[in-house]
Structure formats: structure tokens, C-alpha cells
Amino acid sequence: MKQESQLQRDSQGEDGAALGRLERSLRAWEEGALAAFLARRPESKPEYRTGAGLPVKRVYTALDVAELPLEEIGLPGAYPFTRGAYPTMYRGRLWTMRQIAGFGTAADTNERFQYLIAQGQTGLSVDFDMPTLMGYDSDHAMSLGEVGREGVAIDVLDDMETLFAGIDLTQISVSMTINPSAWILLAMYVAVAEGRGYDLHQLSGTIQNDCLKEYIAQKEWTFPVRPSVRIVRDTIEYCAEHMQRYNPINISGYHISEAGATAVQEAAFTIANAIAYVEEVTRAGGDVDDFAPRLSFFFVSQADLFEEVAKFRAARRVYAKVMKERFGAQKPESMRLRFHAQTAAITLTQPQPYVNIVRTAYQALSAVLGGAQSLHTNGFDEAYTIPTEEAMKLSLRTQQVIAEETNVPSVIDPLGGSYYVESLTTRIETEIFRILDQVEALGGTIAAIEQGWFQQQIADSAYAFARRKASGERPVIGVNTYVEPAEEAPIETHPYDATTEQRQIEHLRQVKAGRDEAAVERLLADLRAAAAADQNIMPATIAAVKARATMGEIVTTLQGLWGTYREQPVF
């Protein structure tokens, strides 16, 4: 032990001396070669910042990470998971390649699924139309003109059966981008699986199911905040018991970013939401190590490549510390942040749409370098409408090139140890904890939402970004720099089938005509009673959808109990 202590002291002394020499060399360089060069050729900007506005130095050295303990960086698959969620990362298994798909009727989208699977896609990701997202049936007056337009229309169990016809749900992971009505879609998914005789524990995938980010950013809701969080609690508890490989929530920063938040705000607000969900389940008696291993996350992969990599690394480290220190998690998998990433739709442009291919490729690369568990790459035509098959294939091929040709997946966290990336990771971590402290001071996430705090922060960031883009300080190729004359029809886009709404409504009427109305009414009453008694509503919802109760009927039943939500405007 004495010998080891002496070695440590010798090492520390040598390191200190080396840092001192480096500091003197840096100062001499700045005062000599750099100053002389700047006098002849000044830098192009007075200051440099990341996309989130964090200051960027011209060069980073060992001095910038001298105070960072090595255990904060750690090793892959080990606390605090800075370097990756798993010990082997992509050497053991590549990320799941998901291309989101959804349009028209369930049969229309099923054809797209079959095409993507044939092209090598390894996970399905379902996009739903606006009525489905909001809990309206296709024949509701509010659905007029929106049925199947921006996603697939799902009203009743028969639609879900058609959506996954010919697809073995035990062999492919299914992610569903759905929030206010997520538990109903999960109930339909369970009913399909049970109808086929599957063991529910063999199903893998995710429902997004993140209601809090709706009130913060995306603005799609059906109930007030607190009942919505209770529904999330019920789905987490149900899946922990009945679907042990399934992620009952995908806590989402993507939409927070798309609404205008910075990279730092995206990570911080998302973890604040995660804290609220964990508090809700543990307050109801759940053991954190029973459900936390299946919590998952969803982040955007934005334009600032190094900042995005640092954001993903910092988010993992912050989450691990929160789960261990705040909630007392014992299992490593309870502290492990696993995330899906999607390239940034907000960066796609209609001018010069083929430039979007380049943007998407770099954003996808940053997600891989940051350690994503699954990835969706946007179609280059999505600034116009939902992507064509050709655009989706090209997006999938983008992921496959990164996976098979670049050799990037061969090394875990290849940017780990970079002076810049490590320094930026630590800076983002510090900023995330600062924001979490602010949220705590406001009374927690839900209280901050009800006060409009998150909404105001995003509005301010979005306005600042819009000003930078309008002034040209934030270049956007084809929009405010390298602008070309507009083309009348630069690309072929996916057409909307005008018969979709009629076909979907007719199918819904047929299902209603053939069901047992008395059974539906009885089961909807059972659902309302379970909700009023604070019982888990998943079993009652599954029973109702099996009887062909529609999504709109289920939502309306619970709105009669809980009411709806009106947002406090933010200016």
C-alpha cells in the first residue's frame, strides 16, 4: 500500500508538472504565433458558439479536462454510462434501424411496412394521423380532412390487426409514435398479440406515451396534466408485470427541440419529465428497480455534430446520477439511459431538397457517435409531405452505409477522450443540473408546466434562433445562403389518396354495425369505474377494445370523468 501511494503521488506530481508546461506553452503560442497570425488574418467571427449558445474556444487541450475525474468518463456499460449503455455497443449489436411509416388506412401502411422490411429495416415505427393522435374517431367532425393524411388512421381493433397483418410481432420491434391516446393503442397491440397466442413477454418495442412533453412543446392532449400522468403510470405498471421486454414510455426530447429548445434545454427538460414519471410510479408503491430498466428516451440529432455527441453523453451521465442518488436505484440497468434518435425534421428545407440528404447523413452520424440504440433518418422530401418509398429507402441506406462502410461502429465512443468533447460533455452536464434545480425550485415538472415556465423558455429560445437565421448569423444552405431560383416541381412527392377518409369511415361503420352494443356500453362503464377508483385502467381498456369499442368512445368516456385541458397562454 505504501508503494502504491508513492506511485500515485509521483504520478500526480508528473501530471502537474506536465500541465504546467502545457499551460506555459499555450500562453507562449497565444502571445506569439497566434497573435502574429491574427494580426495578418483575423478570424471570421468575433465569437464562436455551439448551436445551444455555449462558448467555443479555438483549441482545447488537456488543461480543459484536468479537473475531470476519470471515473466520470468511465467505461462502456458501466456507471455512469458516459461512454455507452452497453459494454460492447455496436460490436455486439448494431442500432435498430427504424424508418417511421404511416399514411392512409391500416392496409396502406402495412404495404409500406412490408416494403421496408424487405429493404433491410430491423424495426417498425408507426406514425399515426392527427385524429388518432388526438383521440378522435375518423367520423368525428374534428377529423374532417385529416384522416390518414399525416399518418395511419386507427379507430378500432380491426385496424390494428390489419396494420400488422403478416408480420410476426415476436420477431420485430415495434415503436408507436402516440401520446395522449397511447394506452389505447397499447391495448389494441396487446389484443392483437393475445389473439395470435403470443407470450406478451416476448414482445419488444415502445409506445411514446410521453404526455408531459405535449404540454411543454407538441400541444396534443386529451385530458388535464395530472390524469394524463396517471395514465402513464398505469401503462408503466402494466408493462412491468406483463410485458417485460417492452418499453412503456419513450421520454421525448425530440419534440421539445423541434419546438425551438436548445440542445441543453432538450436534454434537461426531458430528464425533468423522467423524474416526474419516476416520482409518480414510486409514489404509487412501485419499486424503481422493477420498472426503471424499461424506461426509454427519444432525442433529436441536430446539426451541431460535436454538441449532439456531447449532449447524448451528458444525458446518460446525468440520468445515471439522478436514478442512483435521487431514487436509490440498485440495478445498473435502472440507471442506464437507452435512447432512440431521429434526425432533425426542422432542419429540412424545401429549397434545394437534395441537400437534406447531406444534412441527414451527418445528423445520423452524430447519433451513432453518441451511442444511440435505435435511429430514424428523415426522408429528403419530408419538408413537403410524408416521404416516398424511394426517399425512405435512401434514408435507410444512409444508416446502412454508416453501419457497413464507415467502420465507425467498430470502436465504442470513438470521440471519448477528445479534449473538446469531454469538456463540452461536462459543460452540458453542469447546465442540465442547473436547469433541474430551477425546475425543483418551481415545485417540480408538473408545477412548472402549469406555470408556463417550460413553454416560456422554449419560446425565448425559438425566437432567438429565428433572429439568428433571419440575420444570416445562422446559415441555412439554400434559404439564407447559396440561394438559387425556386423550382416549380423540384421533386416528386407522395400523393394523398382522396378516397382514404371515405374508405376508413365506411370500415368503421361496418365494425360498429357488427359489434355487441350492450357489451361495449358495459365495458366502457367498467373502464370509467376503474378510472374513478384509481385502479389500473389497462385491463379494462384491453377488454373494451376487444369488444370493438373505438378510440373516440374510450377517450370521451374518460373526458366525462376528468375533463379536458386548456393551456395558459405564454407571450
The 3-state secondary structure of 287-347, one letter per residue:
CHHHHHHHCEEEEEECCCHHHHHHHHHHHHHHHHHHHHHHCCCCCHHHCCCCEEEEECHHH
Question: Per-residue pLDDT tens for 162-221?
Answer: 999 999 999 999 999 999 999 999 999 999 999 999 999 999 999 999 999 999 998 999
Q: Are strands 173-177 and 246-247 parallel, antiparallel or unpaired?
A: unpaired
Instruction: Give me the pLDDT at residue 96, please.
Output: 93
Cβ neighbors of 235 (< 8 A, separation 6 or more) are: 182, 183, 186, 207, 209, 248, 249, 538
H runs (alpha helix) in 30-164: 35-40, 70-73, 106-118, 130-134, 157-163
Distance between CA atoms of residues 44 and 46, nearest Å:
7
- Helices H / strands E in the chain, number of each: 22, 9
Residue 8 pLDDT more than 80? Answer: no
Which neighbouring-strand residues pair with 376?
Answer: 342
Which residue, chain included where needed, has cell 440542445?
A: 263
High-pLDDT (> 90) share of the chain, %? 91
Question: Per-residue pLDDT tens for 383-398?
Answer: 999 899 999 999 999 9
Task: Centre a 10 Å sphere on the Cβ of residue 442 and count the other Cβ atoms it contains.
Answer: 16
Phi and psi angles of residue 98, each rounded to the nearest 5 degrees, phi first: -115, 125
Instruction: Give me the pLDDT at residue 566, please.
Output: 80
CA distances, 237 to each of 178, 228, 244, 259, 270 (Å): 18, 14, 10, 30, 20
H runs (alpha helix) in 157-204: 157-163, 182-195
CB 264 within 8 A of CB 311: yes
Residue 483 pLDDT more than 80? Answer: yes
Question: What is the DSSP-derived secondary structure letter of residue 244?
Answer: T
Dihedral of alpha carbons 265, 271, 274, 280, sign: negative
Task: Centre a 10 Å sphere on the Cβ of residue 513 and count the other Cβ atoms it contains.
Answer: 8
Report the phi/psi class of residue 287: left, alpha or beta, with left for phi > 0 and alpha for psi in -120 to 50. Answer: beta
Task: Centre a 10 Å sphere on the Cβ of residue 93 and count the other Cβ atoms it contains.
Answer: 12
Mean pLDDT of 433-442: 98
Half-sphere exposure of 350 (CA within 13 A, CB side): 9
Distance between CA atoms of residues 35 and 182, nearest Å:
59
Phi and psi angles of residue 128, each rounded to the nearest 5 degrees, phi first: -110, 155
pLDDT band at 14 (very low <50, low <70, confident <90, very high): confident
Rounded to the nearest 5 degrees, what angle is found at the Cα of 182, between the Cα atoms of 176 and 183? 125
Distance between CA atoms of residues 233 and 224, nearest Å:
15
CB 545 within 8 A of CB 187: yes
CB 242 within 8 A of CB 186: no
Q: Which amino acid is at 551?
A: M
- Which string of DSSP letters, residue by residue, matches 344-384? -GGG--SSSTTHHHHHHHHHHHHHHHTT-SEEE---TTTTT
Query: Which H or E run includes 126?
Result: strand 123-127
CA distances, 283 to each of 5, 233, 275, 279, 327 (Å): 46, 10, 12, 6, 11
Instruction: Give me the pLDDT at residue 4, please.
Output: 46
- Which string of DSSP letters, residue by residue, matches 391-431? HHHHHHHHHHHHHHTS-GGGSSSTTTT-HHHHHHHHHHHHH
CA distances, 338 to each of 250, 312, 350, 367, 475 (Å): 10, 10, 33, 12, 32
Residue 5 pLDDT more than 70? Answer: no
Question: Per-residue pLDDT tens for 222-274?
Answer: 999 999 999 999 999 999 999 999 999 999 999 999 999 999 999 999 999 99
Mean pLDDT of 539-552: 98
Residue 399 pLDDT more than 70? Answer: yes
pLDDT band at 2 (very low <50, low <70, confident <90, very high): very low
| The C-alpha cell that represents 148 in the structure block | 390518414
Provide the residue count of the chain. Answer: 571
pTM (predicted TM-score) = 0.94
CB 181 within 8 A of CB 557: no
Dihedral of alpha carbons 511, 514, 517, 520, sign: negative
